[in-house]
Structure formats: structure tokens, C-alpha cells
Amino acid sequence: MTSPGDILRMQEITKTFPGVRALQDVNLSVRRGEIHAICGENGAGKSTLMKVLSGVYPHGSYEGEISFDGQECRFAGIRDSEQRGIVIIHQELALCPQLSIAENIFLGNERSRRGLIDWNRTNHEARVLLDRVGLPENPVTVVSDIGVGKQQLVEIAKALSKEVRLLILDEPTAALNDEDSAHLLDLLRGLREEGITCVIISHKLNEIAAIADRVTILRDGRSIETLDMDADDVTEDRIISGMVGRDLEHRYPPHEPSIGEEAFRIEDWTVHSPVQRDRVVVSNAALSVRHGEIVGLAGLMGAGRTELAMSVFGRSYGVDVSGRVYRDGKQVEIRNVRDAIGHGIAYATEDRKRYGLNLIEDIKRNISAADLGRLARRGWVDDNEEYRVAEGFRHDMNIKAPSVLSVTGKLSGGNQQKVVLSKWIFTDADVLILDEPTRGIDVGAKYEIYSIINRLADSGKAVLVISSELPELLGLCDRIYTMSAGHITGELPRHEATQERLMTLMTTLTTKDTAR
Amino acid sequence: MSSVSPATAPAAPAGPPSTGPARTTVFGVSLNIRQSGIYIAFALIVVLFTILTEGALLQPQNISNIIVQNSYILILSIGMILIIIAGHIDLSVGSVVAVTGAIAAVLMVDYGIPWPVALVLTLIAGGLIGAWQGFWIAYFGIPAFIVTLAGMLLFRALTLTVLGNQGIGPFPDPVRTLSNGFTDGYFGNIGLGMLGGADIFSLLVGVLVVGGMALSQWRTRTARLGYHQAVDPLPVFLLKIVTAAAVIMFVVVQLARFRNLPWVLVLLALLVLAYSLVTTRAVFGRQVYAIGGNLQAAVLSGIKVKQVVFWIFVNMGVLAALAGVIFAGRLNQAGPTAGNAFELDAIAAAFIGGAAVQGGVGKVVGAITGGLIMGVINNGMSLIGSPSERVMLVKGVVLLAAVAFDVWAKRRAAR
């Protein structure tokens, strides 16, 4: 494997977090002057690997060796790696929106003389860097005044100002429109000409096929293979089979569905981004769920799944939302969360700590929070009844806590998720949208959550499960929709769905008619 | 949903559960230090100043003074605790006290409007002021700090305009009685041996309050047991009731020996009772906690956050107007400097009383206790002749210590 042309070698990298092994014996070698792509499902370990490389996780917090330019590296932090010329551009841009382009480029690296900033030099050098990345903006323009695509270029200019030798881009085009993406890819080709090595993490396989020289595939925290794009005649399908080729490692409770009438349907659902009003996040989406049915919604990060769900749930996300929602065949108007709950729709968030629970309150008050009125007469809560209801859920859902008076912030992830589910079941919703219901939960608790979801469907509820884990969707759902770049790209019944077919649809960029 | 299995029914309160608030054990009694620390601190401060003042602190007239002198701050702190629980702040209450006092004075003195009508009009004016601020905060989305800072200036300016830079008075007698006066000795006096004569009516009220409190606590306990909830063991329960009863009766007896019950005490007691119920039992009160605890989760639970925030500011305005009338009535004139820095005392009372800076935590009784702690420090230090700068110093230290304790207890609980 070792060849003198390698600028970077990461060997046998293992990184563990409490309870989770994020990376195991990962190998990565990058040749001087190439564009090297890293592919993998959500949670495969791509971002973790890049954080190890850039010193976000310092030497000693992982096992294995990193050598850059033939020298072993032991970075204590980002500054160390930047000194060597390794610069990472994160998925969420790290610019200060209220500062100018030039100030951002030289942030932490100011052009100064005796402690005073040399503004002429700052703005002049910024101008030169902006020309290099092809951004015709004035260096004194405030960053929040330019679009996300241009901000991405400012990030690259910032990296160039540090005399970058290895540029790492984490999902650089995820938030960009097609035009900006194309420009960015051109820029990367230009940098390759200049001898700058690039590592790019991306879900967009067509882009990888277009730009990368080699691709390394990660799966479940392991490096699976490195493919040479030209020599190995790599297709998108070839990458997909590498990304998903694993056995079903989790077990799923057996379930015989009894499916009834249609409970929930959306049509022509379109949502725009609240930060960038001209960007369509969900485009003309249509889907339906029947009573007793568990329907999956698959998609990679940024496909618009959560945005779709939250915009349906009382316009909790997005602007210029348009489309129609039907409940039990009748069109309904949902303007806010109360309307959604009133129409029997519940949404359990993917981020339960930030959006799902009041962590300083007890289990009882969290369970009753979305429908407290049911426990009240003329505005006064019957707290004994509330206690009885909550105890019932603690018992039924097997929430492991000494009593319902325990504070939710101290429960494990699995038990917190059970509290969130209890809260929405208590609202008597007929349609439950569960966003990543098993994220951050250990395997045993996952099985319990799956059983609860099956029980909900058996009691006639319509369940829509959003998940990044394809085996989970295959093991749980009766029918699966796929989303890609804001479009519903496919719909497969359980017996026709495979990980490969789903992944193909999840990475398609145009709408295809599939299955029926 | 099935009922709970009997095996888990009488959950033992003893033994620290792994998931629960920080508890400590005193004389075998398990205590939630974050909640009960404030009452222990209050008791210690009272004992300290009783010793320092050689008993003067607890003399009948002095107890009456402490209540009457702090009544308006305590009323403000009730409104303030709701706002702080919701995660907001109100810096304008001092100025609102001034402007509503002025409005009351103009209505009662200049226009001669009968005092009950004028009082209601003043409370409505307070509500409108609260609605004005609530609109900008809840519906327009300006931080409460800014809106009420502006309000602090606006309503002070309005006060000066209304008053024309001079005091207006005197107030009608009934208003002065409300602020400063005492219940009549309807049933005459009774001899209490070496304690001297005491007002029978006051004593009767005291006995009724204690009896009512004990009865309602007992019924709550019985109902909870009926639902298999964990409750204090009987001896601890009785100890708490007897302690509370003893404190109430001591205060009542002392007041009965002096000049009967101050009317503001009656008013305060009713407010504390009502707002305690609202915060613990009402849907509205529970939504305030939900908003302060996790705003995003509250929004996604369908709570009408804007409405709730709007109404707590309206409520604050009404309570500030009530405090404004009482303060003006006590001085017997509405003055341009009325209510100066009251907002700071009310905020300090709430935080000393256990409210959390991030919101979501706090109790009405806690805020009242916090206000009384400052009242006792003020009163006790002036009795021993401390200069005002030293009083300020001590109050500052107490506020910092109270919040530091809260942060420490939370960190300890998080471990």
C-alpha cells in the first residue's frame, strides 16, 4: 500500500466514544495532488475520521498512526494540523456572519503590525485570494450579505490563506444549488492543477464520479475498500454496493401488518429554506400512509426528510410552504402545531434533547405536555390523574426510572425516547411521524422501540418512520419512500426493497417512476 | 393502559434514588436541598437578627412593619417570578408602579372618582401597560430586556408628565387603610396571660388559616396515597404541618397583640394562595414552566407560546398597578420618584427564592421568601444601626450567594 506518492497515510485508526466504536482499524492513504473522495452512509464514520485527522480529536484520544509528508503527526488541536497545511472545511460553515469577507479570511491569522491590523494589506491579500477562487465580491462586504455558495468560496479562500496543502471538504455541496455546486467542483479541479490535494466527503455520487481520482468507502466505522476511479472502471452502482454491503446485524420483531384505509396523504408539498428563500428544500412531494401501516422515508443527510415532516407538522419549518394535506380522505388546513395535533398528527423529533423534552422537568409533566387540556377541567390540571396516566405509560412502555417524578434529563437515550413516544401517544394521534426514532439508542432499547412501533400500527395508527439506517427501514416498514435533494424519488413495497435499490434511489437526482 | 402493579405502589422515599434532584439527609429526613435551602436560609437569617437585635426583630410592631414595608415588593415578586420562570425579565416594574400610582392619584384626588372605580381603572391601566410590553416581546419578538428597559424610561417619563413634577395627594381613607391600616377588632380582645391582650378576630383568622392549610395538605396526601404516589412518611408530614402552623400562629399572635392584621397581609395571603394554585395546578401555569424549560419543545408540543408570554406581561402590569396604588396610599401621595429600583428588589427576590437564570424553575412561595429575606436584612440591619451602604453590600452578597448556591446544587445534581 505504501508508496512514495502518498502525502497522507492514516493507519489502523480506532476511535471510541462512551459505548460506541465510531472507527475501527481504518486505513486511508491519499496521493499527492489527487482529489480523494470518502463515501459512506450517515454514521459510517466519515466526519469522525476527518476530525481525527485535523486534530479536533487530539493525539491520544484515538489509536493508530497518522503520517503526513512522511512524518508522523501528533496533533494536539486544529492549530497544529493547520500549521502543517491540513485545513478542514466543515459542513456547517464556520464564518462570522457579521464580519467582512476579508476579516473572516484572516480570522485568527490577522495581517497585523505590532498588534494593529493592517487593513490595506488585509483587504489587498483578500482580493488576491478571492480572485483565485473566482469570487468577484468586494472584500469588505459583510458575509451575511452573500449567499451560501459564495460563503463556501470564502471558506476555501480562508483555507488558501493558510497555505493549505491538504484541503478537506465535508459535504461541500450539500447546501448549494446546482450552479454553485458546478462552480465549486471546477474550483477544486483548478486547485488540483496547482498541486493542492483534496479530500472530499460527499453523498452526491454523481459529483464523486465526475471529480474524484480515487474513492475510499467507509461502512460501520471500517474502511472497506479504496477504488481507483479510472483503473477500476467505477460506477455509481459499484460505490453503492460498497456502502451498503452488510448483513442485517440487528434483529427486528416479527410483525404481520393489518392495513386499512388511507389515513394521511400529502400532495404537491413544496417547502423553501427559511435562510435562503429561493432554495427549494422539498419539491412537489407526495406520499400517503394507511391505518395500520408502517411507512419508511429513506434519504441521505440533506435530502429534506426532516424538513418535509416538520413543515407538515404545523409549518414548524420552512417558508413559502404549499401543498395539500388529507386526513382520512378529507383535505385539512394545518396552520400551526395545535392544528396538527387537533387533526391527530404527531411528530416525534430527531433531536429529542433540543426539541422533544423539557429536560429539567419530570417524566410526568413531559408526557402530558402536548395535551395537558385532556387532564384539566376549566383550566385546572388534575395532577393525580396526570400521575396515573404517566405511571400507566411508565409501565406499558417500560420506561426505566424509579418513578414518573424522575427528571427526564437523567434518563438514558432509550428511556427518553420512550417518554417522547408516550407524550405523542397520549395526544391520541392517528398519524405518528417518527424522525430517527432509534438515534443514539443502544441495541436492546432499539428492539423495544421497534416493538412499540409495531404495537402502534396494530392498534390502527398510521406510522411514518424517517431513518438513516436502511436495515432498520427494511426490517420495520411495510412500504418505503426514498427522498433525494428534496424530491420523492421512489416508492418500494417491503418485498421489493433492498439496500442497493434504496441507495440507488436515494442518490438519484431526478424523479423516476419506480415500482408501481 | 393498565394500572400500576402493587409491588411498586408505596415507593419508599428514603434512600437517594439515582435519578432525582439532589437530596441530602438531615436527622434522617430526606430533603431536596435546592428547594428547601431557601427556607432554611430564611430561618437562619431570622435567628441571626433576633440575636443581633436582642429580640427586637420579632416584637409585634416590628413584624407588622416588615410586612407593611415590603408588601409592594412582595406583590411585584409574584408577577416577576412568572416572568422569570418563562425565561424573560421585566425591568420596568418600578416605573409602572410610579405611573399607576400617579394615575390613581389623578383619578381619585384630581377627578374625585370614587376609590373602588378608580382602583379598577388603575388596574386596567396597568394591564394595558403590560399588554403594550407583552405585544413587543411576544408578537414582535424583541427581547424582554430591551422592551422593559425602554418601558422603564417611557413610564417614568409618563409619570413625570402626569404629575407635572410634583406629588399628588392625599388619598381617600379606604386606600390608605388598604396600604397601611389594620383589620378592626370586630370581636374585642382576649387576655393571653403574660402576653397581654390580643385581638380575637385576628386569632380566629389565624386558626382558620392553619386549620385550612392542614386540612388541604391532608386531603392532598390522602388523594396521592389513593393513587399509590410516593408521599412523605406520616411523622415527616406532621412535622412539616406543625412547623408551618407554629410559624403562622406566632406571627398572628404577635400581630394580634399589636394592632390586629394589616390589610395588605390579608391581600398578600390571598394573592400567594391564588398564584400558587395557578403555578402548580392551572394549565396556564404549567405552560409557563414548559416554555421556560425548553422553548422549542413547548412550541412543538402545540403550546401557544406567544399568547402565554403576552398574558404573563399583562399580569405583571396589573400586579404592578396594585403595588403602585398600595405604595402611593402608604406615602399618602403619588410622587415622581416612586418605585425607584423596585424592579431590582423584585428580581432579586425571585432569584434568591430559587428561580433559575435560564428559566423553567421557580415558585411563588420561594419568591415571597426571597423578598422576606431581603426585608428582614433591611429591617434587622437598620435596627442595629448599620449604615445603608452596608445594607446594600449585604444584600448584594446574599443575592450572589443564593444564585451561586443554585448553580452549585444543579451541577451537583448533574453528576
Residue A403 in this model has a pLDDT that exceeds 90: no
Does any CB of chain A come closer than 8 Å to the CB of residue B5? yes
HEC string of A88-146? EECCCCCCCCCCEHHHHHCCCCCCEECCEECHHHHHHHHHHHHHHHCCCCCCCCEHHHC
Given this model, what pLDDT does residue B20 score? 40
pLDDT digits (tens, 9 = 90+) for B160-193: 999 988 899 899 999 998 988 888 777 777 877 7
CATH number at residue A34: 3.40.50.300
Q: Say which residue the cell 487593513 belongs to.
A: A119
Residue B328 has pLDDT above 70, yes or no: yes
A136 to chain B, any CB pair closer than 8 A? The answer is no
User: pLDDT grade, residue A230 (50/70/90)?
Assistant: confident
Residue located via cell numbers 405604595: B327
The closest CB to that of B4, out of A365, A395, A409, belongs to A395
Angle subtended at Cα B215 by Cα B214 and Cα B218, rounded to the nearest 5 degrees: 85
Are B296 and A355 a contacting pair at CB < 8 A? yes
Domain ranges of chain B: 45-181+291-414
The maximal CA–CA distance of chain B, rounded, in angstroms, is 72
Interface touch B283/A313, C-beta < 8 Å: no
How much is the pLDDT for A248? 47
Amino acid at B53: T
CB pairs < 8 Å spanning A and B: 123
Does any CB of chain A come closer than 8 Å to the CB of residue B22? no
Regarding predicted confidence, which is higher, A462 or A499?
A: A462
> Is A316 in contact with B17 (Cβ distance < 8 A)?
no
Q: Is A317 on the interface with B (CB under 8 A)?
A: no
Task: Specify whether A229 is located in the same domain as A357.
Answer: no
Which one of A383, A404, A428 terminates a domain? A428
Nearest by CB to A357, from B2, B294, B302: name it.
Answer: B294
Q: Closest-CA residue in chain A for B282? A: A380
Residue A31 lies inside a defined structural domain of this protein: yes
Identify all chain A residues contacting B2, using CB atoms and an 8 Å cutoff.
392, 395-396
Residue of B nearest to A392 (CA): B1
DSSP string, B296-314: HHHHHTT--HHHHHHHHHH
Residue-averaged pLDDT of chain A: 88
Task: Tell me what ipTM this predicted complex has.
Answer: 0.82
Q: What are phi and psi of A85, to 5 degrees?
A: 95, 20
Element at A397 (helix H, strand E): none
What is the SS3 assignment for B94?
helix
Model pLDDT, residue A343: 95
User: Of the residues A373, A394, A428, which one is the last residue of a structural domain?
Assistant: A428
The per-residue pLDDT for B33 is 63
Taking residue A448's Cβ as centre, other Cβ atoms within 10 Å add up to 18
Whether residue B97 contacts residue B345, with contact meaning beta carbons closer than 8 Å, is answered with no
pLDDT in tens, B61-98: 899 999 999 999 999 999 999 999 999 999 999 999 99
**Chain B residues with beta carbon closer than 8 angstroms to that of A401:** 19
User: What pLDDT sits at residue A47?
Assistant: 83
Q: Does a structural domain hold residue A359?
A: yes
The enclosing H or E element of A84 equals none
Residue A509 included in any domain: no
Torsion, Cα of A464, A466, A470, A472 (10° steps): -60
Task: Select the more confidently predicted residue: A52 or A174.
Answer: A52
Residues 200-259 of B with CB under 8 A from A: 223-224, 226-230
pLDDT of residue B415: 53
Indicate whether A234 pLDDT > 50.
yes
Helix (H) or strand (E) segment spanning residue A196: none
Contact B297 A379 (CB under 8 A): no
Q: What average pLDDT score do residues A221-243 get?
A: 82
* Residue to test with chain B: of A312, A338, A349, A361, most B Cβ within 10 A: A361
Q: What angle do CA B384, B389, B390 make, to 5 degrees?
A: 45
pTM of structure: 0.79
Grid cell at residue B86: 418563562
What is the number of domains present in chain A?
Answer: 2
Q: Is the pLDDT of residue A511 over 60?
A: no
pLDDT tens per residue, range B242-299: 999 999 999 999 898 888 889 999 999 999 999 999 999 999 999 999 999 999 999 9
Using 50, 70 and 90 to split pLDDT, how confident is the model at B12? very low
- Using 50, 70 and 90 to split pLDDT, how confident is the model at A514? very low
Contacts of A358 in chain B (CB under 8 A): 289-290, 293-294, 297-298, 360
Asked if residue B335 has pLDDT above 60, the reply is yes
Domain presence at residue A229:
yes
Across A320-336, average pLDDT: 94
Check residue A162 and give its pLDDT: 86
- Asked whether the predicted pLDDT for residue B414 surpasses 70, the reply is no
Name the A residues in 398-437 with CB < 8 Å from any B CB: 401-403, 405-407, 409-411, 423
To the nearest whole percent, how much of chain B has pLDDT over 70?
91
Report how far residue B406's alpha carbon sits from residue A440's, in angstroms, rounded to the nearest whole number: 31
CA distance B369 to chain A (A): 23
Residue A102 covered by a domain: no
Contacts of B298 in chain A (CB under 8 A): 358, 369
CA–CA separation, A365 and B47 (whole Å): 38
Shortest alpha-carbon distance between residue B192 and chain A (Å): 43
Q: Which of A:341-380 have CB within 8 Å of B?
A: 341, 347, 349, 354-361, 365, 369-373, 376, 379-380
Which of A368, A377, A391, A432 would best serve as a mutation to test chain B binding (most B beta carbons within 10 A)? A391
Q: CA-to-CA distance for A15 and A25, rounded, in angstroms? A: 9
Domain co-membership, A365 together with A241: no
Best probe of the A interface among B301, B308, B361, B411, by most A CBs < 10 A, is B301
Contact B290, B54 (CB under 8 A): no
Q: Closest CB to B297: pick one of A358, A406, A410.
A: A358
Measured between beta carbons, which residues in chain A are less than 8 angstroms from residue B280?
Answer: 383
**Any A CB within 8 A of B2 CB:** yes
For the segment A347-359, what is each residue's pLDDT rounded down to a tens digit?
Answer: 999 888 889 999 9
Task: Name the 3-class secondary structure at A193.
Answer: helix
Torsion sign (Cα): A370, A371, A373, A376: negative
Pairing verdict, β A166-170 and A86-89: parallel
* The pLDDT of residue B11: 35
> Which H or E run includes A37?
strand A35-39
Q: Which of B1, B18, B277 is closest, CB to CB, to A396?
A: B1
Which value, to the nearest 10 degrees, does the dihedral of the CA atoms of residues A101, A102, A103, A105 take? 90
Amino acid (one-letter) located at B316 = M
Cell numbers found for residue A369: 405536555
Asked if residue A202 belongs to a domain, the reply is: yes
The order of strands in the sheet holding A35-39 is A86-89, A166-170, A197-201, A35-39, A214-219, A222-228
How does residue B35 score in pLDDT terms, banded at 50, 70 and 90? low
Nearest to A381 among B227, B282, B303 (CB): B282
**Highest-pLDDT range among A243-252, A296-305, B319-328:** B319-328
Confidence of residue A442 (pLDDT cuts 50, 70, 90): low
Q: Chain B residues with CB inside 8 Å of A369's CB?
A: 290, 297-298, 301, 303
Q: Which of A312, A297, A294 is nearest to A490 (CA)?
A: A297
Q: How far is A303 from chain B (nearest CA, A)?
A: 22
Could you list the residue range(s) of the whole structural domain that residue A387 is in?
351-428
Q: Let me know whether A77 and A197 are in one domain.
A: yes
Q: What is the pLDDT of residue B14?
A: 35
In this structure, is residue A361 part of a structural domain? yes
Are A177 and A480 in contact, with CB atoms under 8 Å apart? Answer: no
The model's pLDDT over B110-119, given as tens digits with 9 standing for 90+, comes to 999 999 999 9
Contact A453, A434 (CB under 8 A): yes
Domain boundary among A219, A246, A273: A246
What is the rounded average pLDDT for all residues in chain B?
88
B193, B129 Cβ separation under 8 angstroms = no
Of residues A358, A370, A384, nearest to B294 (C-beta): A358
Mutant choice from A315, A316, A345, A355 vs B, greatest count of B C-beta within 10 A: A355
Contact B360 A340 (CB under 8 A): no
A225: three-class secondary structure by DSSP: strand
